[in-house]
Structure 1
């Protein structure tokens, strides 16, 4: 007879499969909630979600601890969508100007395509460093940009620079401007005008920072050429 004393208890395959099924079902319900927000707005009711997926509300809640848990899982799903749109733009391919336009454009394009999801995230309510999921996402983007800026500067012979602070400032500025534009019912700028203003402003900050470090660059210069210099 096998010795069952000590060690970890055997894993029940049926239990593992059931856990996987529950996780998949939860994900399907979260995706349904995201689709509902896209259609009806950020202040959706759980009853509407239950009707959409064909479940009684009480059964729906068995998949989530409470409404706060459901909302957090939705935010995580929305952030995943946002980051899928942003991450490919952080490569700095092409010229400096093209890189700026690509990053700013990806942010604006996602917001324009998903305004209700953006509102649900409560972006304007969370500043970097407050510990929330939204704030952590902003910080992650700023850190990725900061690392790329630092790589370029090192290639130019500048090893020490407060570039992460600059990256955080740029992300905060773009985020605040876009958030205000989305919420403003009487917009003073079109989407294209906002895009152009943000790109000009980001370059102005970068240009001023570079000049303080003794580096003069043109926005038409290719980033890859700078890294090989």
Structure 2
């Protein structure tokens, strides 16, 4: 109802409290959907979610515009979980070898711990195509890595390098390899063998790129020492 004195419209406190309640309930339902996917697999049905939370399907949908809206919120929750695992590893502490192993290991650990959530991101409309939330997330990780690589190279006197493209390629390679491994019903290598192979491959790409730029480094170099050089 408008303020009769000519001021701003008055806000009904009951409406605000209801909005907060709906937002909290939506969060709870998305959490329940994520837990359901973890337990039963990527192709979950809304009816199963309704049964899990004890609501009629029609009532559950009052909290979301449609199934696409629910799926989008689930994807965002999954990506948030993945990024919480990845972000602390992008600091490059220790040696180059340790830094590579930490980043690759964080990716593989999260996927190994949440294989059904990872599979969900590749099902149908959730697939990792251009413009998808997952594609944007991989790009964000690559850009963060590229920026960090660039900072180290500048301390070594390298001002211009295609490091962003290299970072995007590395992230894409690791993600594709892990994706194939987790989907393979009979993986050709163990998790630890995959981890070691990915670390060797990432270092091989970095080493080749550095050599092209006239820089020779050992994987045992400490990143902090390079930045002081």
Pick the TM interval, shorter chain.
over 0.9
- Segments of structure 1 that go 5 or more residues without pairing to the other structure are none
Q: Report the Cα offset of residue 211 of structure 1.
A: 0.5
Aligned-partner SS, 2:202: helix
Q: CA deviation at 1:9?
A: 2.0
Contact 2:38 2:114 in 1 (8 A): yes
Secondary structure, counterpart of 2:9 in structure 1: coil
1:36-115 mapped onto 2 (5 Å cutoff) = 36-115=36-115
Cα distance between partner residues in 2 of 1:31 and 1:117? 12
Q: Distance in 2 between matches of 1:202 and 1:17?
A: 51
Residues 67-216 of structure 1 mapped to structure 2, 5 A cutoff: 67-122=67-122, 125-127=127-129, 130-216=130-216
- Listed one character per residue, the Cα deviations across residues 42-65 of structure 1 (whole Å, up to 9, x for unaligned) are 111111111111111110000011
Q: SS state of the match for residue 158, structure 1?
A: coil
CA contact (8 A) 2:121 2:128 kept: no
Distance 1:22 1:93 in 2: 43
User: Following the alignment from structure 2 to structure 1, what is the Cα–Cα distance between the partners of residues 170 and 150?
Assistant: 15
1:137-167 CA-to-partner distances (Å, cap 9, x unmatched) read: 0000000000100010011111111100000
2:10 matches 1:10:
yes
Aligned-partner SS, 1:17: helix
Distance in structure 2 (CA, Å) of the matches to 1:214 and 1:191: 35
1: CA distance, partners of 2:16 / 2:96:
50
Q: Which runs of 5+ in 2 are unaligned?
A: none
> Which stretch shows the higher mean deviation, 19-28 or 118-127?
118-127
Distance (Å, rounded) in 1 between the aligned partners of 2:10 and 2:167: 50
Deviation at 1:17, TM superposition (A): 1.8
TM-score, length-normalised on structure 2?
0.95
Deviates more, 1:8-17 or 1:112-121: 8-17
Cα deviation, residue 10, structure 1: 2.8
CA distance in 1: counterparts of 2:220 and 2:146, whole angstroms = 20
SS of alignment partner, residue 150 of structure 2 = helix
Return closer, same or farther for 1:8/1:155 CA change in 2, 3 Å cut-off. Answer: farther
C-alpha deviation, 1:85, in angstroms: 0.4
In 2, the alpha carbon distance for the partners of 1:140 and 1:222 equals: 25
* 2:32 aligned with 1:32: yes
For the residues of structure 2 that align with 1:177 and 1:120, how far apart are their CA atoms? Answer: 17
TM-score (norm 1): 0.95
Q: Residues 122 and 128 of structure 2 are in contact (CA less than 8 Å); yes or no, is this contact kept in structure 1?
A: yes
Shift of 1:104: 0.3
1:3 shift after superposition: 5.7
